[in-house]
Amino acid sequence: MDRIKEVKQSIVNGEAVLGIELGSTRIKAVLIAPDNSPIASGGYGWENSLADGIWTYDLDLVWEGLQTAFSTLSADVRRQYGVTLSEVKAFGVSGMMHGYLVFDAQGELLTPFRTWRNNITGEASTALTDLFSYPIPQRWSIAHLYQSIIGEEPHIGSISYMTTLAGYIHWRLTGEKVIGIGEASGMFPIDITEKDFNSSMIVTFDEHIADKGYDWNLKELLPTVLEAGTPAGVLTAEGALLLDPTGTLCSEIPMCPPEGDAGTGMVATNSVSVRTGNVSAGTSVFAMLVLEKELSKVHPEIDLVTTPDGSLVGMAHSNNCTSEYDQWISLFGEAIKVTGGEISTGRLYDDLLSHALTGDSDCGGLLSYGYISGEHMTGFSEGRPLFVRESSSNLTLANFIRAQLFTALCALRTGLDILTEEEQVEVDEIKGHGGFFKTAEVGQRIMAAATNTPISILETAGEGGAWGIALLASFLNQRTQGKTLPEFLDTVFGDATGEPVAPDAADVKGFNEFFTRYHQGLVIERAAVDNLS
């Protein structure tokens, strides 16, 4: 039987597995075959909006996007294989990490969705880090909850359930208030031994706010924590119609625990074992290093989260990565059109990014900040994109693009230095995925310079987190056979990892010089935030 016929039969038999991830700019659906290879995909583009100072997405767009992603996936199945997608063996949903979604007892949303991108919980983040002696980043759900308490927001007394985007969608599709442990670790600290929310910290929090007189305790608000491979309910008839209003998709499909894009990124790059690491670089950029032991002290810049199977991870996260240079590249494309030229978007990126490799190693003295939003790693609750140079700087196109690439990774590097230099965390290789690696050689080489670590790209990395959550759904069937998640992923990936790109000495030296300039110039960024409203 040839490959097309084999895949077609697996779809007809309901043996394929579905994964959908809601990323920052795209909702993507991926269907995988019984051998875990991607066989069809669909998508929906969307963007967050800034409403009353809050980065958010309208929940109506969530369902419009999910339905469109599934519809275009189904159309892709019909186009490629000539069959209708009506049943799958398992299904998983993931979403952009953490954030704040709270509901009352009737399931009504109490305040607009507050995404990971917001830097409005600094007071709460600092206070909770001190209270728990544990790093609580601003985007964590508990930081948003406590900031709302500090601000005496009227919705607090009415909260019945708190979850993340992935947890919300899973709840609506299955009726189950559960969360995968990786995503849970960005809501509230996890007890690694118990594989659950830290019970002593929950008690500490409840005691800390006892004088407020709320009718709830924190444990009641939080979803149930599940490890990868644990059954997390089934797609209900109502949930199936939410996803596919045509009524074609069957219900009763087993679902895996919902995860965040950090966890699915680890899965999609086979980076869940100790001494492995991955970096996801797109709208934001974050590196995840699986730790051999606890860190020696609290570092507010470093998140302590977990893999989807509960291993401790040190995470360095930057809010801003490719958004600013995407706009510059779009501007250059517009300039080409104005002069009568035509160029595809793909070639425009490839040509400009490749040209950056010909620039001066330190970008010729140029300096830029891609702070579309605030940047917690360097202490900014708001951002102002900037380009700065001295009159003697070497302003060339190659240096300008190179500076945009370098600056996209400087906040990340600030956090990684804490892990690798202060905590002596060792990682043998970092696996990359995300839009930063569209032009693979450029992305790998620049990332290797920033991290001073070999960077590899998986052949399947382009499928991203939607494939990662599909793999976690597939793992539902494997765990019952006694396989661990690392063992399962090793069988999936085999030798799919491409050859790593080692750091180039001149690139590393140039990045370090730019990195020093970047930190020296933060006073310029501060002045822009203070004076440009």
What pLDDT, on a 0 to 100 scale, did the predictor assign at position 460?
59
- Mean pLDDT across the chain, nearest whole number? 94
Domain boundaries, the chain: 271-457+503-533
- Phi and psi dihedrals of 423, rounded to 5? -100, -5
With 0.85 as the threshold, say if the pTM is over it. Answer: no
Q: How confident is the model at residue 493 (pLDDT cuts 50, 70, 90)?
A: confident
Residue 180 · residue 263 · CB < 8 Å:
yes
| Cα→Cα distances 313→190, 254, 257, 488, 530, Å | 11, 28, 19, 19, 35
Contacts of 328 (CB under 8 A, 6+ apart): 400, 401, 404
pLDDT for 223 beyond 70? yes
What pLDDT, on a 0 to 100 scale, did the predictor assign at position 464?
76
How many angstroms separate the CA atoms of 338 and 50, rounded?
Answer: 31
Q: How confident is the model at residue 496 (pLDDT cuts 50, 70, 90)?
A: low
Q: How confident is the model at residue 480 (pLDDT cuts 50, 70, 90)?
A: low
Q: Say which CATH architecture domain 271-457+503-533 belongs to.
A: 2-Layer Sandwich (3.30)
- pLDDT tens for each residue of 374-409: 998 999 989 999 999 999 999 999 999 999 999 999
Contacts of 433 (CB under 8 A, 6+ apart): 265, 268, 269, 278, 279, 280, 281, 457, 458, 461, 462, 464
Residue 488 · residue 429 · CB < 8 Å:
no
| Cα→Cα distances 59→99, 115, 317, 368, 369, Å | 14, 12, 25, 34, 31
What pLDDT, on a 0 to 100 scale, did the predictor assign at position 105?
97
pLDDT for 25 beyond 90? no
What pLDDT, on a 0 to 100 scale, did the predictor assign at position 314?
94
What pLDDT, on a 0 to 100 scale, did the predictor assign at position 465?
86
